[in-house]
């Protein structure tokens, strides 16, 4: 019985809040769809104007803390429908420097038996830079694929290569 009354009370409170929101929306916001786009007219209630000023201060403060966002210019080269989802994800991680190489695994304090590149015989640590720019085995594979496809790709780190492609087009 007590539980039932508590549920009724909770339901009543929720309905009361919904009614209040509908009332405020109908009275003050009228045709504005979003609270964030609403600007109170001059003849509106003082408290409503102060509430909106607070909203604007919060938004400005949030934007100031967020700072200037640098939109990644090469994102459209990565998130293209031409590439398979798996390749998009690999490229995105590579651009962020978050491919799970042995260097990164060690950085995460996870044990690996050895940290050298298992693809070539250069006896250097498997880093992202090595895999995408310096690994001789991957370089040969890449050269064969490019030759087969009749394409030319610049040497370098993934991000540099994508930025060069972006500049060219």
Q: Which residues bind Zn ion (CB under 5 A)?
A: 117, 119-120, 135
Rounded CA gap, 155 and 15, in Å?
63
Q: Whose Cβ is closer to Zn ion: residue 38's or residue 134's?
A: 134
Which single residue is written with the structure tokens 């991000």?
159
Return the structure tokens found at 121.
Answer: 């015989």
Output the smallest distance, CB 121 to Zn ion, in A.
8
Q: Whose Cβ is closer to Zn ion: residue 54's or residue 146's?
A: 146
3-state secondary structure (DSSP) of residue 125: strand
Q: Whose Cβ is closer to Zn ion: residue 117's or residue 158's?
A: 117
Output the smallest distance, CB 158 to Zn ion, in A.
15
Name residues whose C-beta falls within 8 Å of residue 88's C-beta, 6 or more positions apart in sequence.
Answer: 78, 79, 80
Classify 69 in phi/psi space as left (phi over 0), alpha (psi -120 to 50) or beta.
Answer: beta
Output the smallest distance, CB 108 to Zn ion, in A.
21
Q: Whose Cβ is closer to Zn ion: residue 6's or residue 112's?
A: 112
Output the smallest distance, CB 38 to Zn ion, in A.
58
């Amino acid at each position: 019985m007590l539980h039932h009354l508590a549920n009724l009370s909770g339901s009543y409170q929720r309905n009361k809040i919904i009614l209040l929101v509908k009332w405020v929306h109908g009275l003050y916001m009228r045709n504005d769809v979003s609270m964030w786009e609403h600007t109170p007219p001059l003849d509106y209630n003082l408290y409503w104007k102060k509430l909106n000023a607070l909203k604007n201060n919060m938004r400005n403060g949030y934007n100031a803390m967020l700072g200037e966002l640098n939109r990644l210019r090469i994102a459209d080269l990565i998130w293209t429908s031409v590439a398979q989802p798996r390749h998009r994800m690999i490229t995105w991680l590579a651009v962020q420097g978050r491919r799970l190489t042995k260097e990164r695994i060690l950085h995460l304090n996870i044990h690996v038996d050895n940290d050298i590149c298992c693809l070539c015989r250069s006896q250097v640590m498997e880093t992202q830079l090595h895999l995408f720019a310096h690994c001789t085995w991957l370089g040969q594979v890449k050269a064969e694929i490019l030759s087969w496809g009749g394409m030319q790709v610049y040497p370098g780190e993934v991000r540099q290569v994508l930025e060069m492609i972006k500049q060219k087009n």
